[in-house]
Amino acid sequence: MSSNSRNTNTTPRTNASANTNTNSSNSVATSTDFNTFLQLLKPRLTTPQFFWFVGHVSTLLNSAIYLFFSFFSTGISQRYYKYALMSIISTYLIVLYQVYKSSNAFSFFNLKNFTNNDNFQYLALALLWYLVSGYKVIGGGLYPFIIYSTFHVLNYFKNFILPILPSMTPQQKTLVQNYINHFVRTYNEQSLVASANLEVLVLVQLAIGSPLVLYYLLTNFWLAIINIIVIVQFVAFMKLRYRQSKYTKGTFDGTVYKLDAFMNSGTVPLQFVQTYANLKLQVTQLIARIPF
């Protein structure tokens, strides 16, 4: 994990030590009327940080609608799944644009920067998922983004919206600020662990579904290619996250340890244990060939 924090600046969403300080120049101990609120809000409407905030709000809203309609309508849920991915993509583009402005073009477009910067990693993931969303929906894929967006929205709201909200007393604003600070401090670490677990679950889900690629090769060649690309990219993504995130590494190592313990418990037939060992070795060798 890098030292970037989960705050209201356009910083990487995956590096998320809680920032509970108020960065706004307006104290929560002030009250405003609606006209003053609009005057104070207007300068912020043109800042990259505000559009970044709107992108995260849109991520949460579209994800909620997608999850709701996933029980009733495939067409509607798929539409809002795309909208959620578009919102996610927009937040990363804003972050990377800010990074680009503060660095030179050579260092920004350096291959090492692409592989080491988690903003590029998550942007590439969301872009591919959006491009294939007409053919394949990644079950559970939005959950980590929902977690990250929740904390970003809370911090931006606390630092920049809450201090200028009308119809609230200073005491009420302080109470809300303290509640948000408590929530972020309490659940920040757990949210990173949860996100890592969800990403490992997506990997497991893709691995379980990978044999379908053979079926698709015979029945729907294009869908087979899409599944192969999605699997390869996510494996590469998880390799980078394993190397860079202690949460991903801990979750993945713990999952493999439990699986190894189960396979070696004596309750599994020997031929399955041998098949598992051979498959694990082949997968490890294959992942090692990924050039980063």
pLDDT of residue 265: 85
pLDDT of residue 99: 83
Q: Which two tokens stand for residue 59?
A: 């991520």
pLDDT of residue 102: 76
End-to-end CA distance of the chain: 17
Domain that holds residue 108: 5-288
pLDDT of residue 40: 82
pTM: 0.84
Burial class (CB in 10 A: 0-12, 13-18, 19+), 229: middle
Tally of domains in the chain: 1
Which parts of the chain sit beneath pLDDT 50? 1-27, 29
Give percent of the chain above pLDDT 70.
85
Contact 101, 128 (CB under 8 A): no
For 88-145, how does the pLDDT look when each residue is reduced to its tens digit (9 = 90+)?
999 999 999 888 777 766 566 666 666 778 899 999 999 999 999 988 999 889 999 9
For 278, the 3-state DSSP assignment is helix
Q: Which two tokens stand for residue 237?
A: 């993504």
Q: Which two tokens stand for residue 183?
A: 């929530």
- The helix, strand and coil proportions of the chain, stated in percent and rounded to the nearest 5, come to 75, 0, 25
Q: Residue 88: CB partners within 8 Å, gap ≥ 6?
A: 55, 59, 122, 126, 145, 149
